[in-house]
Amino acid sequence: MRNPGVIVYWPRVLVKSVLPNDPARVDDIFEKAIRDGKGSPDLSKSDAYSVRLSIPAQVKDKDFILYIERITNERQVDLSFEEIYELEKIRENQKVDNAGSRNKFLQLGIIEQVGRTSGARYILSHKYYIHKGKSGIYTRLRGLSREHKKELIVQHLRKTKKDTRGILRMRFAS
């Protein structure tokens, strides 16, 4: 038989001990999860009446953490939690919010800019993907240059022997 007093008491204990009231301590939870390579905790199932915090248990990308540690040791630079969080967002192909952090990462060579206009996006540097052993992912994220794309089209046309002027005009119009 269950004790109704215990059932009423335990949720209060769990809420006070597991989810801190201090926002700085919630930041500590995020920082710990990201520094351990587990990714960002998820608050998407929270609503106005309750908070649901899902903390990933498995390491998502150990190479990311090792790479960040190597860069900070080589360059003798410390990264704040906010900067590590920005790098985590870049790793997950999300938008960079902090321009100061972005410029610092560009100077340190941790990230690279893809594109030149307002639609520019940022990816982790080629060194990260080499460190991870997945340089093909870097190429896919970076994309091919306009000249390289033209060369691939010309090779395709030579291979298929279909040299129609309409296709060439459409592809090389600009």
> Which residue has better confidence, 156 or 164?
156
| Whole-structure pTM value | 0.61
Q: Answer with the one of 58, 87, 107 that is the final residue of a domain.
A: 58
Q: Taken in order 55, 56, 60, 65, is the CA torsion positive or negative?
A: positive
Shared domain check, 99 and 131: yes
Residue at token pair 């192909």: 93
Shared domain check, 137 and 80: yes
Q: Taken in order 35, 36, 42, 48, is the CA torsion positive or negative?
A: negative
Q: Which two tokens stand for residue 29?
A: 């939870």
- Per-residue model confidence as pLDDT tens digits over 96-112: 888 888 889 888 888 88
Contact 70, 132 (CB under 8 A): no
Shared domain check, 128 and 173: no
Helix (H, G, I), strand (E, B) or coil at 109: coil
Shared domain check, 103 and 66: yes
- Per-residue model confidence as pLDDT tens digits over 158-174: 777 655 566 666 666 65
Tell me how many degrees the CA angle 55-56-57 measures, rounded to the nearest 5: 110
Count, residues in the chain: 174
- Per-residue model confidence as pLDDT tens digits over 121-137: 888 888 888 888 887 88
